Amino acid sequence: MNTTTQLSDSALVSLYIAGNENAFEQLVNRHKNKVFTTILLIVKDSYTAEDLLQDTFIKAVHTMKSGRYNEEGKFSSWICRIAHNLAIDFFRKEKRSPIITLEDGNNVFNTLSFAEDSVESLQIKEDTHARLRELIQALPQTQREVLMMRHYADMSFQEIAEATGVSINTALGRMRYALINLRKKMQKSNIVYDKNLYSE
């Protein structure tokens, strides 16, 4: 039985720094999906995202093993900030906008699980994901940044405000506009977002 599965992130970090590799494995498995998604939504390429995911955790490994990890704040926010910064650095260097493609050839947004996989629901899913991808990418940079930091990087609005150098009300306002913009554009595009279409 793995005794680390119920521990907090903070406890796992302490164990890892003390030399427990199982604790690190637990941290990776706990946060890999959100870190990966955070990167993927910025770089828009699954192969690059896989590389940057590894770079992110390797950077975290070095920070923790060298004793430079600051225990203030959440591990999830910290690791997602590293990922976000690496992805933004990459994006700025590359200045490119490739199609989001996964190893299996599917688009990144073709991954929602639907309650029924009928031909009709699959078609709706494909259309919805393709359009949603465009809508998120079309958001103003400041709105997209807050959306990703809050929704995928699990940072609090206060943390986002500090990280982006704005007030918490500005961060909240940007998030509000991001969600409102998505909602309006989804309605305008007749995008179905009935929650009954999606399995829990």
Instruction: Determine the 3-state secondary structure of 113 from DSSP.
Output: coil
Listed in sequence order, the DSSP H helices in 95-198 are 119-138, 141-147, 157-164, 168-188
Comparing CB distances to another protein, the nearer of 163 and 175 is 175
Does residue 54 interact with another protein by CB under 8 A? yes
**198 strand-pairing partners:** 114
Q: What is the Cα–Cα distance from 83 to 55, expressed in whole angstroms? A: 8
Comparing CB distances to another protein, the nearer of 12 and 95 is 12
Comparing CB distances to another protein, the nearer of 36 and 81 is 36
Comparing CB distances to another protein, the nearer of 96 and 183 is 183
* Block residue for tokens 């910290």: 78
Comparing CB distances to another protein, the nearer of 53 and 87 is 53
| DSSP state letter for 5 | T
Beta carbons within 8 Å of 90's beta carbon, 6+ residues apart: 42, 43, 48, 52
Interface of this chain with another protein, residues 128 to 167, rule: CB under 8 A: 129, 132, 147, 150-152, 156-157
What are the Cα distances from residue 159, in Å, to 41, 71, 177? 20, 15, 19
Does residue 102 interact with another protein by CB under 8 A? yes
Count of residues interacting with another protein (CB under 8 A): 48
Question: Shortest Cβ distance from residue 84 to another protein (Å)?
Answer: 15
Does residue 65 interact with another protein by CB under 8 A? yes
Beta carbons within 8 Å of 133's beta carbon, 6+ residues apart: 100, 107, 108, 109
Residue ranges binding another protein (CB under 8 A)? 19, 21, 24-25, 28-29, 32-34, 36-37, 40-41, 49-50, 53-54, 57-58, 61, 65, 102-103, 108-109, 111-113, 129, 132, 147, 150-152, 156-157, 169, 172-173, 175-176, 179, 182-183, 186, 193, 195, 198
